[in-house]
Amino acid sequence: MFRRREILASGAAVLALPGVARAQAPWPQRPVRIVVPFGLGGSADVAARFLAEPLQQSLGQPFVVENRPGAGAVIGTDLVAKSQPDGYTLLLMSNTHTANETLIPNRPYRLMTDLAPVASINIAHHVLAVHPSIQAQTLPELIALLRANPGRFDYASSGPGTPYHVAGEVFLAMAGAQATHVPFRGSNEARTALISGQVPIMFDAIPTMREQIAGGRVRGLATTGPQRSPLMPELPTVAEALPGYEASIWLGLMAPAATPLPIRERLNAEVNRIMALPATRDAQARAGAQPMSMSIAEFDAFLRADITRQAEYVRMARMTPT
């Protein structure tokens, strides 16, 4: 009897340890923050705010979006990588991060070492738009103009290493043309520069730029998917002029590396459930995006494959690591 009491007392003492108590506590018990390492109004920011409300409804705690742009997404990403791995800090990431594995070798974190996959969200393609002052009325005419005037024209992006930057550099490489990259601190700033004519060329999100094209403030020349976009079917794809070209932006969630698997699995299930809702699919279609649901293991494999794919894009476009 004494031995049994001793064992029970010992077990109770172990359960009383702070670490074990935390492990047994239900999650979440307080607000969860989603760090977006990009500026307001971009695809990642929109996706984070789109997910925050239904996640709060299903999990019972606020999901607070916190924008931490800068240094090609490195600042916000490093903040998450160094946060407590307790499920209360998440990263809204994109293929900017897989490109940065090659483009920014000296960043203070390693994506697949210091962060852990949680859930994929969606994928969307871009539109190539130019200011009306550009003489080219079609994509072949733009390519001819750039070839005839190497380095004379600039193109804007939402920052170094972003999908829009990579889309521009791969386009120039495949077109055999030259233009100067002008990075901004987010899509809104880059878009404003395009509309004002400060920078005359830009790859951007289709839904946002569609309004500017319809209003005549910019001219749409092509979209970057494998087929014409249902949002802008009148525009050809870049691949119609440059066979094999495709450029996209995809989004996902990651967490600090040691975040418990049960928490990541719960988040994965919730995000997949939200993205599968008919209302969500309709909203995504209107935004020119498609849900991209995966298990944690599938998303892990996708990330590793995309790191290799982005490295090939960087090599093809002769982009210089910083």
Question: CA-to-CA distance for 45 and 22, rounded, in angstroms?
Answer: 31
Question: CA-to-CA distance for 275 and 49, rounded, in angstroms?
Answer: 14
Summarised one tens digit per residue, pLDDT across range 234-290 is: 999 999 999 999 999 999 999 999 999 999 999 999 999 999 999 999 999 988 899
Exposure on the CB side of residue 270, measured as CA atoms within 13 A: 18
Question: CA-to-CA distance for 165 and 182, rounded, in angstroms?
Answer: 9
Backbone angles phi, psi at 114, to 5 degrees: -95, -10
SS3 120: strand
How many helices and strands (H and E) does the chain possess?
13, 10
pLDDT at residue 16, as a whole number: 46
Token pair belonging to 297: 């293991």
Cα diameter, the chain: 93
pLDDT at residue 317, as a whole number: 87
Whether the Cβ atoms of residue 149 and residue 143 lie closer than 8 Å to each other? no
DSSP class per residue in 232-272? STTSPBGGGTSTT---EEEEEEEEETTS-HHHHHHHHHHHH
pLDDT at residue 24, as a whole number: 56
Question: CA-to-CA distance for 100 and 111, rounded, in angstroms?
Answer: 9
Summarised one tens digit per residue, pLDDT across range 70-107 is: 888 999 999 999 999 999 999 999 999 999 999 999 99
Give all domains of the chain, ordered by start, each with its CATH number.
31-123+250-317 (3.40.190.150), 125-240 (3.40.190.10)
- For residue 18, pLDDT beyond 60: no
The helix (H) or strand (E) run that includes residue 297 is helix 296-317
Backbone angles phi, psi at 58, to 5 degrees: -85, -30
Question: CA-to-CA distance for 47 and 59, rounded, in angstroms?
Answer: 18
pLDDT at residue 319, as a whole number: 87
- Which residues sit opposite 251 in a β-bridge? 94, 122
Angle at which helices 261-276 and 296-317 cross, to 10°? 80
pLDDT at residue 48, as a whole number: 96
